[in-house]
Chain A
Amino acid sequence: MPKVSMTVNGKRVSADVEGRTLLVQFLREHQRLTGTHVGCDTSQCGACVVHVDGKAIKACTTLALSCEGANVTTIEGLANGTELHPMQAAFREHHGLQCGFCTPGMIMAAIDMVNRLGYDLSEDTIRHELEGNICRCTGYHNIVKAIQAGAAAMGGLKVAAE
């Protein structure tokens, strides 16, 4: 079986995998990082979004072996010890979730949004940029609020509390 090596959340890891092993299987089953979810397995829902070399991608539609040498960040790699990442804290503060299944992908997508578009995100921009992430509980409203606040917090900006 071929071997794949990559850096996951700052740690060098490697494992023997098959050609067909998806990145999301590698993360969940080989690395036991089960925060990255599989929702649809057809690249629609975004529950599996992780960052590969700094870019948000769908881990259910990426082969593990294609990520040889890559730098991968998952939801488990965001918090600093017990201190949540500002985007995670904003999702808690604004109740940007109900069942929580889509949340890891939402947060990884939100941070990617900030990385590309900056800290000051309009509601329109956020709604448009979320088209690759599906939530079946919330109606998105609090997710959008959380992302706006989380983005501002990442940039050290203040947003009026509601």
Chain B
Amino acid sequence: MYAFDFHRPATLRQANSLIGKVEDAKILAGGQTLLPTMKQRLASPAAVIDLSGVPELVGIEQKGRNLVIGAMTSHAEVASSALVKAALPGLAALAGGIGDPHVRHKGTIGGSIANNDPAADYPAGLLALGATIVTNRRRIPAGEFFTGMFSTALDEGEIITKVIIPTGGKFAYAKFRNPASRYAMVGVAVGKKGSSVVVAVTGAGSDGVFRWAEAEAALGKRFNAKSLDGIKTPAAKELNSDIHASAEYRSHLIGVMARRAVAAATAK
């Protein structure tokens, strides 16, 4: 790999001060995307600020009706957390389906959403759950956070510190995995809170995660997989086509994954 400067702050305060000072620095969370990207020179920051030494960014708590997950909490920790499994089993399952066991030990929720890969799982999940992303400067609703493929509402020098996730609704995520990369060929997250339903689709959109309004309207009337019968899936011309799947196939998969997600969300 090319040479770069390395910083490893021990507190969020130190991290804040470094990110303001160090030129052309990138935050390193779990590194499971950033390091391969740097090896390929698709990213080449002059410096890396590693947050793995900041313990205050790790942990899962129940605070009132919310789950609060620290940005540096690994996928393995979310997947195996008794708190998450009890409050939002669908979220534990989502985290447990990312990458492979070794990647899940390193990859973090903060890193995943800051990267906003168009085929990542967390962006769809957090959108459907109505989560709030907390940074060193402000709180950003998930609906405003994911702004397009690999792009977010984060400003220069902004660091995600935690994610606040409301509990008490229904939630499930169903994904059709690419068998080699384990990224979503299509993933659909469905969240229901009161009468409001969000259906978020990842892996399929040409500009990253998006909401499927027609499905939301149908499921808002009756939260049952059958409600999606006769609803047209998103048009292929707005979807990805690549060596793994055509846009038409992805469009079909969205309907299948959405039904599976609704069925899973209503099963318990």
Residues of chain A touching chain B, judged by Cβ–Cβ distance below 8 Å, are 2, 18-20, 22, 41-44, 46, 49, 55-58, 61-63, 65-66, 68, 109, 112-113, 116, 129, 131-133
From known contacts A65-B8, A66-B31, infer whether A42 and B36 are also in contact, taking CB-CB under 8 Å.
yes
Interface-facing stretch out of B98-106, B197-205, B249-257: B98-106
> Contact between B52 and A43 (Cβ–Cβ < 8 Å)?
no
CB-CB nearest in chain A for B104: A132
Complex contacts, B5 vs chain A, CB 8 Å:
19
Cα of A30 to Cα of B36 in the assembled complex, Å: 22
Contact of B35 among A18, A61, A109, A113 (CB under 8 A): A61
Size of the chain B interface, CB-CB below 8 angstroms:
28
Residue B182 interfacial (CB < 8 Å): yes
> Contact between B106 and A41 (Cβ–Cβ < 8 Å)?
no
Complex contacts, B100 vs chain A, CB 8 Å:
46, 131-133
How many Å from the CB of A4 to the closest CB on chain B? 10
Contact of B105 among A18, A41, A56 (CB under 8 A): A56
How many Å from the CB of B31 to the closest CB on chain A? 6
CB-CB nearest in chain A for B3: A20
From known contacts A56-B101, A131-B100, A131-B182, infer whether A19 and B39 are also in contact, taking CB-CB under 8 Å.
no
Complex contacts, B3 vs chain A, CB 8 Å:
18-20
Cα of A132 to Cα of B107 in the assembled complex, Å: 14
How many Å from the CB of B204 to the closest CB on chain A? 23
Complex contacts, A56 vs chain B, CB 8 Å:
101-102, 105
Complex contacts, B32 vs chain A, CB 8 Å:
43, 61
How many Å from the CB of B196 to the closest CB on chain A? 35
> Contact between A55 and B76 (Cβ–Cβ < 8 Å)?
yes
How many Å from the CB of A23 to the closest CB on chain B? 11
From known contacts A66-B28, A132-B103, infer whether A19 and B36 are also in contact, taking CB-CB under 8 Å.
no
Cα of A20 to Cα of B99 in the assembled complex, Å: 23
Max chain A CB contacts within 10 Å: which of B3, B35, B76?
B35
Cα of A56 to Cα of B103 in the assembled complex, Å: 9
Cα of A58 to Cα of B2 in the assembled complex, Å: 19
Complex contacts, B101 vs chain A, CB 8 Å:
56, 109, 112-113, 116, 129, 131-132
> Contact between B8 and A49 (Cβ–Cβ < 8 Å)?
no
How many Å from the CB of B6 to the closest CB on chain A? 3
Cα of A3 to Cα of B105 in the assembled complex, Å: 25
Complex contacts, B8 vs chain A, CB 8 Å:
65-66, 68
Contact of B102 among A20, A49, A65 (CB under 8 A): A49
Cα of A116 to Cα of B50 in the assembled complex, Å: 27
Complex contacts, B106 vs chain A, CB 8 Å:
57-58, 61-62
> Contact between A61 and B36 (Cβ–Cβ < 8 Å)?
yes
Max chain A CB contacts within 10 Å: which of B1, B6, B52, B99?
B6
